[in-house]
Every structure is written in structure tokens, then in C-alpha cells.
């Protein structure tokens, strides 16, 4: 079969012949892959730089996707940490890590949206006690996950959603946000001072700066503030001011693979798939044939989520 294959870390995968994998457990099934998203997590998997990397090569990248199963159903699936990923004509899926999609669902849209949308969905539903009416700041709202976080927060009942990001043109396009503000704009502390929740895709210096601004601007220091660390596009470490933790009822938690048990992530899949299938979120996806995977890897503009289609 054909697959995207990484033979050395630091070099993009290329489309090559690859042995068809053989199921090794009763719950495993050989599935025909229909679509697999090229998420940042897949890039770090292929680069060997993700915290779950085992450094094993060759590696077929892809952490999730949509596939046709032996019973004829079209399902969204999530793979475990494996070197046999989703960017191949066929892959091995544990059926328990899949959810049946209604016929007529666009597999490219599902493959594009589930991973970035899940980041905020799981954060709000599984890492904090989020209540309808609460206000949310999305820090780093211009990427695929950030844009969807604005919509997911609204969908889950957020009262006011503030979107902060570095690109003014992309911020202006966020029609679901109540307020948009550029990173580094001194108004950030003012407009976000009373938020209940921060969904943070940035980390690094912008997070340290935003945390100082939000905590300093707060009129009611007793009001709880949940800061959920979800991504780190601006840096793997941040100089968190100690005073922020003392001066406000601030709790910092992370949300992702590990901090949320796999069973909890799986339990959220059906509801999210339903919302996406019903057209409840705006998704900008582009299908790229498997044969062009190497070129797709070189496209790093975040305006669209690329989806590899075998």
C-alpha cells in the first residue's frame, strides 16, 4: 500500500510503498483511511519532537482520521502512540477508539476539525467546572484551534468571549467573538480583567504578559480565574509572575493527552462529531492527495487545516 513515510527526523514524510499492517489484538481492525488531518501535533510527531515520541523509524505520521471500517461504517478514530499512523491507505484502529459518523458527513471536515476543536471542548468540559454565562479569553485565537475555541466556548454556553491574537486581519474575521484585541495591546488587561476562564494556546512571553495584565486589572480579586494551558506556539516555557498566583484566585491547569484520561477524551467524541456534522462550527479545510504529502508538509500557513486523503 502507499503511505506517508518518515525515514529521518527533520525531513518531511514522502509517499512510498509500505507494508500493510497486521492486526495484533482482537479489538484491532484494518481500516481503509479516507482522511487524516495534518495538525501541529502530527508535525511534532513526524519531527520526533513530541513528548510522546519513541524515536522509532520508519514512522507513518497521523494521530487521527476518518476511515471506512469492515462493517461498512464511516468512523472518526483516534490512534494510540504508534509508528503506524493514519496517513496511509490503510491503518490499524482499536474499534473502541472510534465513533460512527452519519452517512453524508464530510470526512475531510471531520478530519480537519476534531483535533483542534477537541482542544477547547475537552478543556472546558473535563478540566474545569465551566458554567453557562461565564466569560472566556482565548489567548492565541487566530490559529485553527483558537478560532474554533471561540465558537466552542459560545456553543458550550459562554457569556462573553474575548479573542486575543497577533494578526489583526485574522482577528477581524472572528465573527463569533464579542471582543477582539491584539496581543501586546495595553487594552488587553482592561477588556479581559473580569474573565472567568482563559484558554491559552500561546504560553511563552505573551502568556506571562497577559497574566500580569489580567490579574492587575481585576476589580474583584476573589473571583476565581481558571487558566487552561492547551498549546505553546509562542514558547515551551513561560516566566509566570509569582505575584499573580498570590494576588488573585488563579488556578493554572493543563489540558491534553495525559492530563485528560483517554477514556474521558473518547467520551467527548460523539457529541463533538455531531456538532461538526450539523455544521455548528466554521471549518476551513483543504484536502491534499497522499501523493502530495511532502509538499503539504512545507505549507505552514495556519489559515486552513490540510487533510491528507489517500
| Binding-site ranges for ligand NAP (CB under 6 A) | 39-41, 115-116, 119, 140, 142-146, 165-167, 170, 183, 201-202, 206, 230-234, 255-256, 302
Q: What are the phi and psi torsion angles at 257 (to 5°)?
A: -60, 115
Residue 27 beta carbon to ligand NAP: minimum distance, rounded to whole angstroms: 24
Cell output for 62: 497521523
> Which CB, 29 or 144, lies closer to ligand NAP?
144
Q: No. of H helices and E strands in the chain?
A: 9, 15
> Which CB, 21 or 201, lies closer to ligand NAP?
201
Residue 201 beta carbon to ligand NAP: minimum distance, rounded to whole angstroms: 4
Residue 7 beta carbon to ligand NAP: minimum distance, rounded to whole angstroms: 24
C-alpha span between 102 and 123 (Å, rounded) = 26
> Which CB, 30 or 233, lies closer to ligand NAP?
233
Residue 71 beta carbon to ligand NAP: minimum distance, rounded to whole angstroms: 29
DSSP alpha helix (H) spans, the chain: 40-47, 107-122, 144-155, 168-172, 187-191, 204-217, 242-247, 262-277, 293-297
Place of cell 493527552: 257
> Which CB, 148 or 193, lies closer to ligand NAP?
148
> Which CB, 248 or 276, lies closer to ligand NAP?
276
Please, are residues 124 and 107 in contact by the beta-carbon 8 Å criterion? Answer: no
Residue 144 beta carbon to ligand NAP: minimum distance, rounded to whole angstroms: 3
Name the helix (H) or strand (E) containing 48.
Answer: none
Residue 177 beta carbon to ligand NAP: minimum distance, rounded to whole angstroms: 14
Please, are residues 40 and 144 in contact by the beta-carbon 8 Å criterion? Answer: no
> Which CB, 137 or 145, lies closer to ligand NAP?
145
Place of cell 525531513: 11
Residue closest to ligand NAP, measured at CB: 143
Q: How many CA atoms lie within 13 A of 238 on its CB side?
A: 23
Amino acid at each position: 500500500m502507499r503511505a506517508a513515510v518518515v525515514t529521518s527526523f527533520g525531513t518531511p514524510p514522502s509517499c512510498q510503498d509500505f507494508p500493510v499492517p497486521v492486526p495484533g489484538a482482537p479489538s484491532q481492525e484494518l481500516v481503509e483511511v479516507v482522511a487524516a488531518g495534518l495538525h501541529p501535533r502530527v508535525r511534532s510527531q513526524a519531527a520526533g519532537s513530541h513528548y510522546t515520541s519513541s524515536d522509532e523509524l520508519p514512522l507513518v505520521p497521523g494521530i487521527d482520521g476518518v476511515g471506512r471500517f469492515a462493517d461498512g461504517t464511516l468512523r472518526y478514530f483516534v490512534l494510540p502512540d504508534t509508528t503506524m499512523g493514519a496517513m496511509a491507505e490503510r491503518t490499524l484502529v482499536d474499534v473502541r477508539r472510534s465513533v460512527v459518523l452519519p452517512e453524508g458527513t464530510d470526512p475531510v471536515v471531520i478530519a480537519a476539525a476534531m483535533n483542534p476543536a477537541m482542544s477547547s471542548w475537552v478543556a472546558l468540559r473535563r478540566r474545569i467546572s465551566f458554567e453557562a454565562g461565564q466569560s472566556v479569553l482565548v489567548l492565541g485565537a487566530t490559529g485553527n484551534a483558537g478560532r474554533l475555541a471561540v465558537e466552542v466556548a459560545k456553543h458550550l454556553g459562554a457569556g462573553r468571549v474575548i479573542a486575543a491574537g497577533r494578526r489583526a486581519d485574522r482577528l477581524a474575521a472572528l465573527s463569533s467573538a464579542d471582543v477582539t484585541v491584539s496581543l501586546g495591546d495595553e487594552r488587553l488587561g482592561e477588556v479581559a480583567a473580569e474573565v472567568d476562564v482563559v484558554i491559552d494556546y500561546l504560553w511563552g512571553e505573551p502568556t506571562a504578559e497577559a497574566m500580569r495584565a489580567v490579574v492587575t486589572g481585576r476589580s474583584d480579586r476573589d473571583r476565581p480565574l481558571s487558566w487552561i494551558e492547551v498549546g505553546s506556539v509562542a514558547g515551551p516555557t513561560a516566566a509566570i509572575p509569582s505575584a499573580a498566583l498570590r494576588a488573585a484566585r488563579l488556578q493554572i491547569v493543563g489540558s491534553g493527552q495525559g492530563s485528560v484520561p483517554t477514556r474521558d477524551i473518547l467520551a467527548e467524541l460523539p457529541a463533538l462529531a455531531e456538532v461538526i456534522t450539523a455544521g455548528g462550527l466554521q471549518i476551513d479545510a483543504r484536502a491534499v492527495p497522499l501523493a502530495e504529502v511532502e509538499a503539504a508538509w512545507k505549507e505552514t500557513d495556519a489559515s486552513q487545516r490540510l487533510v491528507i486523503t489517500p
